[in-house]
Amino acid sequence: MINNSNRLDIAQEYFNKAYKSQMEGRLDEAIDYYKISIDLFPTAEAHTFLGWAYSVKGKYEDAIDECYIAIEIDENYGNPYNDIGEYLINLKRYEEAIIWLEKAINAPRYSLRHFPYYNLGRIYEKKGEWFKALSYYKDAANLNPDFDPAKKAIIRVTTLLN
């Protein structure tokens, strides 16, 4: 008989296989492994990463749905909030995206906080609000000085302002 601890361990093994498959470009295989992981022991991370795999295939609505489930499981986990925001940017639904990105910034459990700042910068740059975009890009760069997209965006927007 499989107890919860064993289920979690096996689910983690499938999650790791899924992530490896995704990083190697085998998206359908990754999606299958994420689903097995979720069937064994649903986690916010597995649903978020399944959503990410869907997004790479351009299935943004499915990706958003997975992020909603992730938030139901763990509302403190920041990744799905940012991911929803990013998917909405790709769908050109900027005002909706802002709400989710602000939630990501305020999420208690989130180690990649520079991403929502960067994504907010992207939105404001698209809207032509250069100073606001620049401010968010600078926040992203301050949170992660090695994050090259933010550094490049700062240069790009600064050039527009000159």
- 6: CATH: 1.25.40.10
- Tokens standing for 64? 């958003």
Task: Indicate if 5 and 66 belong to the same structural domain.
Answer: yes
pLDDT at position 5, please? 73
pTM here is: 0.92
Task: Indicate if 94 and 136 belong to the same structural domain.
Answer: no
Task: Indicate if 28 and 44 belong to the same structural domain.
Answer: yes
Instruction: State the total domains in the chain.
Output: 2
Task: Indicate if 145 and 80 belong to the same structural domain.
Answer: no
Report the Cα 123 to chain-centroid distance in Å. 15
Task: Indicate if 107 and 91 belong to the same structural domain.
Answer: yes
CA distances from 11 to 34, 64, 76 (A): 9, 22, 21
Task: Indicate if 1 and 51 belong to the same structural domain.
Answer: yes
Task: Indicate if 39 and 95 belong to the same structural domain.
Answer: yes
Task: Indicate if 98 and 25 belong to the same structural domain.
Answer: yes
Contacts from 65-73 at CB under 8 Å and sequence distance 24+? 69/42, 70/44, 70/45, 71/44, 73/42, 73/43, 73/44, 73/47
Task: Indicate if 49 and 99 belong to the same structural domain.
Answer: yes
Task: Indicate if 83 and 29 belong to the same structural domain.
Answer: yes
For residues 45 and 70, the answer to whether their CB atoms sit within 8 Å is: yes
pLDDT at position 141, please? 98
Cα separation, 146 vs 4, whole angstroms? 39
Task: Indicate if 92 and 129 belong to the same structural domain.
Answer: no
- In order along its 162 residues, the chain shows pLDDT tens digits of 567 778 899 999 999 999 999 999 999 999 999 999 999 999 999 999 999 999 999 999 999 999 999 999 999 999 999 999 999 999 999 999 999 999 999 999 998 999 999 999 999 999 999 999 999 999 999 999 999 999 999 999 999 888
pLDDT at position 129, please? 96
Task: Indicate if 85 and 71 belong to the same structural domain.
Answer: yes
Q: Which domain holds residue 149?
A: 114-162
Nearest CA among 77, 40, 111, 5 for reference residue 17:
40
Q: Classify 109 as helix, strand or coil.
A: strand
